[in-house]
Amino acid sequence: MAHYKIHISKDNLMFAAGHFASYDGSKVEPAHGHNYRFSVTVEGPLDQNSYVFNFVTLKRMMKRISDELDHRMLLPSESVLISVEPQPDGGVLVRVGTRWYRFPGEDVVILPIANTTVELIARYLCGQLHEQLAQSGDASHLCAIEVEVEETFGQSATYREELEPSA
Ligand SMILES: [Zn+2]
């Protein structure tokens, strides 16, 4: 079967967020932020209108997903080094060795990942997009989604998910 790819990398596909990643097995960076940019590729055969997927719909989905991360502190819920503890008052306590931080709940996003690297952020965004595509009901012909996340200029990671065509 013939496959096409469409690719979106628009100026507004970005989010400014804080994070700290662990590295070298046992170290954790100081808190800092990035202007993350990302792009999306979806692959599949053409639909009845000769599109792989509607660009406008796809851009809207990606914007919605990135808005949820914009101006937030990104915290990993599955890190062995960074302990993220939601508090009864809605705040979030974060412990990193002897350091600790306390954030208002509305300033953070707790992601179900082990480390806030661009690799895992790309996987997370890809998963979110997959969910939205599935909910849209007209993405069953797609066979792959790819999300690239750039942390600083010229430094990015890509996650690709192969889909099972369901129809
Ligand atoms: Zn960083």
Least Cα distance to 59 among 123, 14, 116, 105 occurs for 14
Q: pLDDT tens across 53-74, in order?
A: 999 999 999 999 999 999 999 9
What are the chain's domains?
4-21+31-72+116-162 (3.30.479.10)
Q: pLDDT tens across 11-28, in order?
A: 889 999 999 999 999 999
Q: Is the pLDDT reported for residue 167 higher than 70? A: no
| Separation of CA 74 and ligand 1 centre (Å) | 10
| Separation of CA 136 and ligand 1 centre (Å) | 33
| Separation of CA 33 and ligand 1 centre (Å) | 6
User: Cα angle vertex 70, ends 41, 107, to 5°?
Assistant: 145
Least Cα distance to 30 among 20, 15, 40 occurs for 20
| Separation of CA 152 and ligand 1 centre (Å) | 9
- Tell if the pTM clears 0.85, that is, is over it: yes
